[in-house]
Each structure stands twice: as C-alpha cells, then as structure tokens.
C-alpha cells in the first residue's frame, strides 16, 4: 500500500506516518487485527444469538410480540450511546480506550446468562449487551477509516466485515454441535452460554495488544452543536437511511419465518450459519465493487437487495426458497454493514466517529418502532410485515437517488 499523499484532503493525520506497515491481505495490518477482535467477539455473541429467539420463545415461554419488543429495545440500546461515543472519541482523539470499554461491557453482560434463564434475565442481558456494541462501534469504525487507504477503503471495510462475520459462521456451528450432541435441554443452553464466554474474554486481550491510532483532539466540540459541523451530504444521506431503518426489523423474524415453513430449531441454526457464510464471501467482493463503481451505487444496491429479499420472504412457501433468501440476505448484509460505513467515511473527513455514531443512533432509534410494527403484523399476517419492508426500502432508495442527483446538480 503506498504512503498516503499529504495533499490528499481525505488522508487522515493519524495515517501520515513516515513508515507505512507492509500490507496484509491487501490492507493495513491493523485492519486484520481489528478484524480478529471482531471475529472473537462475534464467535461468542453469535453462539448465543443464533439460538436466542428460539430459546426466548420456546424455553423461556415468551411470545413473538414480546420478542419483537425485546429485539427493538436491544437495537435501541445498541444505538443509544453511539452518538455520545463517537463525539467523545473525536473530542478526545482516542479510539482504543473507547473501543476497549465497549467490548469489555458486552463481555461482562454475558455473565447474566450464567445466572438467569428467565424472561426478565434474558431481556436484561439482550439490552445491556447491546450497550457495549453501541459504545465501541463509532470509535472502532473511525479507527478503521484512519488506517485504510482511501483508494481501497471499501475493500478494507469489506475485509473487516468478512473477519467479523467469520466468527458469526463458527458461532452458530458450535451451537449446532452442542445442541445435536447434548439435545435441546436447558442444561445444554447453559453450557453453550458458558463456552461463549471464552472467546469474549480473548477478544479483550487481543484488542489490548493493538496500537492506538489517535486522531487530533477537538476539545472545544460541543455534543449538541456537533450536528452543525457535519457535511450537508451526510445529513441528506441520513434522511434516506432513516426511512430505510423503518423497514429493517429484527433478524429474529426471519428465523421465525423459516420455522413456520418447517425448519427445526437445529436447522435454523444452520440457516443462520449459511447467512453468515454468504456475508463472509460477499463482503470483500462487495468492497472491491464499491471501490470500483462508487459508494452511492452500493447504497442503492443495498436498498434494492433488501426490497427483493423482503418480497421473497412474503411469498416463500418451500424450504429451498428460504435457503436462497438467507443467502441473499447475507449479500445484502455485506453491503449494508460495511459499505455504508465506508460511504460515511468518504463524506466526513474530520469527524468520522461523530458521523458514524449519529448514523447508528438515528437508525437504531427507528429500529424499535420497526420491530414493534413487525411483531404486531406478525400476529395478524406475517407476509404483510415483509411487504411493508419492501415498500419502505424502495421509498428510501428513491429519496437517496434524489439526494444524489441534487448533490450532483449543485457541484
């Protein structure tokens, strides 16, 4: 990877070092290191989340509507600290300290599963664990953007997402193996939750060994006034992203949809692993495509993929339909989770953590009503929830396209 050009307005001060580390897999080594941390964390989390919806509704005895509420609250929890964490990271210039705090908080929250399997305990765990995710996300993503070469930023975010989701592939497989070996008893789930603690702790150790990439401190930045410092292009994007978030209900409903078509609990775990495999394979490829055709087209592609997938779930009637749709969802996820962040990094050069935090905060706030509506519609007619999601995704795409045309006309 060539050294960043000092004249490049997009180059980060933190990346303008006289010596540039040798690339690994075509990216800065720190991208791989941060990816390893995410791998270990996802290995732990997805062992739990791959069975959480079924455990919550069948073992703990909660309803689908309550699941929708809990998932919405979890998404709300994950986004509640994003803006604050991003602003705090930009204000102090620190990335590693806040990322460590977020990963550590999520690890501590998992202890709840070792002492309680009640609906209340599971709800508290799901909400508190996501607080850690919300706090670590913006500092880590700004850290990634700082070490990535601007010309291959999409690929760098794609590689990180592939490593992240590799843990999500292995996690459900470990859960599947334990369930097949020991049966779907409460004691098996408790053992699974205990095993999940091991990679969670290792992720903290791994992150502590990565060298921080500090950014210039902005001590005078005000939390509530930071909005005015963000670019108009980012603010326009936030509108379409907000509309799309209303369509983006919990993944748990896709798992319930698979169950309604005839998949057993253990098979649903394999479907979850398939989704993650599709994401792992697609993420670097979508990153390369993003660097080639531009981030705006990738955002539109993500909206189109989600709308198509939602229509598919509304019409699905056989198990092979569900299998194809889980693969399609994995491709969409690779675009949405990695390239949207790369797009924000392109738009915001100075306050990336703040912008990413605000994006996560706004979209996460809208996940709660989205999941509540999905839960209510599910009780009435599940297909209607998917049709609504498809329609909202198309509206978001139209708003984004209009904003991009307006931006092109102004420039």
- For the CA atoms of 265, 269, 271, 272, the dihedral, rounded to the nearest 10 degrees, stands at 140
pLDDT band at 298 (very low <50, low <70, confident <90, very high): very high
Q: Give the phi and the psi of residue 217 in degrees, each rounded to 5.
A: -70, 145
Residue 149 pLDDT: 86
> Tens digit of pLDDT for each residue in 143-152?
999 888 888 8
Q: Which residue has the higher pLDDT, 77 or 319?
A: 319
Residue 23 pLDDT: 72
Nearest of 240, 250, 253 to residue 392 by alpha carbon: 240
> Tens digit of pLDDT for each residue in 345-359?
999 888 899 999 999
Residue 25 pLDDT: 73
Instruction: Please determine, for residue 5, whether its predicted confidence score (pLDDT) is greater than 90.
Output: no
Share of the chain above pLDDT 70, in %: 91
Q: Which two tokens stand for residue 113?
A: 């599963």
Residue 410 pLDDT: 55
> Tens digit of pLDDT for each residue in 123-180?
888 888 888 888 999 999 999 998 888 888 999 999 999 999 898 888 888 988 888 8
Residue 363 pLDDT: 86
Query: What angle in degrees, to the nearest 10, is found between the helix axes of 295-315 and 232-245?
Result: 10
Residue 2 pLDDT: 41
pLDDT band at 185 (very low <50, low <70, confident <90, very high): confident
> Quick check: 80 and 366 in contact, CB under 8 A?
no
Lowest mean pLDDT, pick from 9-13, 72-76, 109-113: 9-13
> Tens digit of pLDDT for each residue in 212-256?
877 777 766 667 777 888 888 999 999 999 999 988 877 778 888
Instruction: Please determine, for residue 274, whether its predicted confidence score (pLDDT) is greater than 90.
Output: no
Q: Which two tokens stand for residue 83?
A: 């803006």
> Tens digit of pLDDT for each residue in 255-272?
888 888 888 877 887 887
394 sits in which H/E element? helix 382-410
Q: What is the DSSP letter of 350?
A: S
- All domains in the chain, ordered by first residue: 26-211+230-410 (1.20.1250.20)
pLDDT band at 16 (very low <50, low <70, confident <90, very high): very low
Q: What is the mean pLDDT of the chain?
A: 84
Instruction: Please determine, for residue 307, whether its predicted confidence score (pLDDT) is greater than 80.
Output: yes
Instruction: Please determine, for residue 9, whether its predicted confidence score (pLDDT) is greater than 50.
Output: no
> Quick check: 351 and 229 in contact, CB under 8 A?
yes
Q: Which residue has the higher pLDDT, 350 or 386?
A: 386
- For the CA atoms of 390, 395, 399, 400, the dihedral, rounded to the nearest 10 degrees, stands at 10
Residue 3 pLDDT: 41
pLDDT band at 8 (very low <50, low <70, confident <90, very high): very low
Q: Which two tokens stand for residue 340?
A: 């949207």
Q: What is the DSSP letter of 226?
A: G
Mean pLDDT of 204-210: 93
């Amino acid at each position: 990877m060539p050294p960043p050009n000092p004249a490049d307005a997009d180059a980060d001060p933190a990346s303008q070092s006289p010596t540039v580390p040798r690339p690994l897999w075509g990216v800065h080594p720190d991208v791989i290191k941060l990816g390893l941390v995410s791998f270990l964390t996802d290995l732990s989390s997805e062992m739990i989340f791959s069975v959480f919806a079924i455990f919550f509704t069948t073992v703990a005895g909660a309803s689908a509507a309550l699941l929708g509420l809990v998932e919405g609250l979890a998404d709300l929890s994950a986004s509640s600290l994003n803006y604050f964490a991003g602003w705090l990271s930009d204000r102090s210039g620190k990335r590693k300290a806040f990322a460590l705090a977020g990963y550590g908080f999520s690890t501590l929250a998992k202890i709840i599963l070792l002492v309680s399997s009640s609906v209340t305990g599971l709800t508290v765990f799901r909400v508190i664990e996501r607080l850690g995710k919300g706090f670590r996300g913006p500092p880590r993503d700004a850290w990634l953007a700082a070490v990535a070469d601007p010309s291959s930023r999409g690929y760098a975010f794609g590689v990180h997402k592939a490593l992240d989701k590799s843990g999500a592939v292995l996690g459900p497989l470990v859960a599947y193996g334990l369930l097949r070996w020991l049966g779907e008893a409460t004691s098996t789930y408790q053992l699974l939750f205990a095993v999940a603690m091991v990679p969670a702790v290792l992720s903290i150790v791994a992150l502590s060994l990565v060298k921080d990439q500090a950014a210039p401190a902005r001590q005078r930045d005000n939390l509530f006034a930071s909005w005015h410092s963000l670019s108009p292009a980012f603010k326009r994007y936030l509108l379409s992203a907000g509309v799309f978030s209303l369509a983006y209900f919990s993944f748990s409903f896709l798992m319930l949809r698979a169950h309604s078509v005839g998949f057993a609990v253990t098979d649903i775990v394999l479907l979850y692993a398939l989704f993650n495999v599709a994401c792992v394979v697609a993420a670097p490829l979508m990153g390369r495509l993003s660097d080639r055709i531009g981030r705006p087209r990738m955002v539109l592609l993500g909206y189109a993929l989600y709308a198509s997938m939602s229509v598919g779930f509304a019409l699905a009637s056989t198990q092979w339909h569900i299998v194809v749709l889980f693969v399609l969802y994995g491709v969409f996820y690779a675009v949405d989770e990695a390239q949207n962040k790369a797009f924000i990094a392109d738009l915001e050069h100075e306050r990336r953590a703040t912008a990413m935090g605000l994006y996560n905060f706004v979209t996460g706030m809208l996940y709660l009503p989205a999941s509540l509506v999905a839960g209510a519609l599910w009780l009435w007619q599940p297909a209607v929830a998917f049709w609504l999601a498809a329609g909202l995704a198309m509206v978001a795409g139209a708003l984004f396209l209009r904003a991009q045309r307006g931006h092109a006309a102004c420039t």
